[in-house]
Amino acid sequence: MLASLALGERSIGELAEPLDMSFAGASKHVKVLEDAGLLQRRKVGRKHLISLRTEPLAEAHKWLRQWEELWNERLDRLQALVQSDTSRKEKPNG
């Protein structure tokens, strides 16, 4: 749903269709995402149009980015250690 909404505003029916989901099921998903602050809804006649709120996603991305940098650094050190250990084991005893 979020990927679809990244392309623009959709009705609940439009969100449900490609997921082979009932309108009621899609409506429940939308409500959960709306309660989480990720979506906003506007009513046009009888139709509810849903759009993505990017601000909370940007905040989450920023928070995750700090951990990504930490883990990349740690994984780089682990890779260097494994490569060093592998190189020592492959050298013939002299």
pLDDT digits (tens, 9 = 90+) for 15-42: 999 999 999 999 999 999 999 999 999 9
Q: What is the pTM of this model?
A: 0.65
To which residue do tokens 């050298």 refer?
Answer: 91
The tokens of 66 are what?
A: 């700090």
The length of the chain, given as a count of residues: 94
What is the reported pLDDT for 87? 81
Rounded Cα distance between 63 and 82, Å, is 29
The answer to whether residue 84 scores a pLDDT higher than 60 is yes
* CA–CA distances in Å: residue 27 to residues 12, 13, 52: 6, 9, 15
pLDDT band at 92; cut points 50, 70, 90: low
The answer to whether residue 90 scores a pLDDT higher than 90 is no
Percent of the chain topping pLDDT 90? 79
Mean pLDDT for the chain overall: 91
What is the reported pLDDT for 74? 94
